[in-house]
Amino acid sequence: MPVVLGHNIYDIASSPEIYDIVWVNFPYDEAPYEPGPDRHPGLVLSKSVFKDKNTELNYASLQIAYGTSQPQNDRLPWEVLRVHNYVALDRCGLCRDTSFILSRVQRLLWCEEYFPISEHGTPILGKLPHAQILALKTLKEVRDALKKKSSND
């Protein structure tokens, strides 16, 4: 498997599209070179492609919002996208009510270390349904408006 920035990168053709749900594996805190047991679903918010200067290989990086089944009652409404109805969860490939935390977004390389392949042969679990995509876009507009307002104040 090709190595870019010290990571075993996946082929760009296997990378998810935006609004796909993927599996994210957190490494061990004490041993960052090993995939840990803590896994969470991640919502793909953006995708960028790169060419490695040394190897000339193309690779992808993703902005991911992490999901948890822990209720997020203390968070502000524009910080969380909830997926809770049966059909939406099914399309996302999830089995529990899930909150994606939009104030906790991280950029990750599309690589073996953080995106474990599931029994279905891919780290991609499913795709956010249309209604939730619209809700996400509304949340983005609200968040951008709030950012703009706070920078003007």
Partner 1 sequence: MTKKPKPRSDLMFQEANLPNPVEFDYSKDITDKHFDIMNKAMMYRSGLSKEELEEALAEGILVGGEIW
CA distance 65 to 24: 10
Query: Hey, what are 55's tokens?
Result: 């190897």
Residue 70 makes contact with partner 1 by CB under 8 A: yes
Contacts of 21 (CB under 8 A, 6+ apart): 41, 42, 43, 44, 67, 92, 93, 94, 124, 125, 126, 127, 128
Return the residue of 9, 83, 91, 132 that touches partner 1, per CB under 8 A. Answer: 91
Interacting positions 2-21 with partner 1 (CB under 8 A): 5-7, 17-19
Grouping H, G, I as helix, E, B as strand and the rest as coil, residue 111 is strand
Phi, psi at 10, each rounded to 5°: -85, 155
Residue 105 makes contact with partner 1 by CB under 8 A: yes
Task: State which residue, 86 or 149, has the beta carbon closest to partner 1.
Answer: 86
Residue 56 makes contact with partner 1 by CB under 8 A: no
Return the residue of 55, 76, 84, 90 that touches partner 1, per CB under 8 A. Answer: 90
Sole residue written with tokens 């993927």:
22
Return the residue of 39, 84, 130, 148 that touches partner 1, per CB under 8 A. Answer: 39
Binding-site ranges for partner 1 (CB under 8 A): 5-7, 17-19, 23, 26-29, 32-33, 36, 38-41, 44-50, 60-61, 63, 65-70, 89-96, 98, 101-102, 104-109, 113-114, 118-120, 125-126, 140
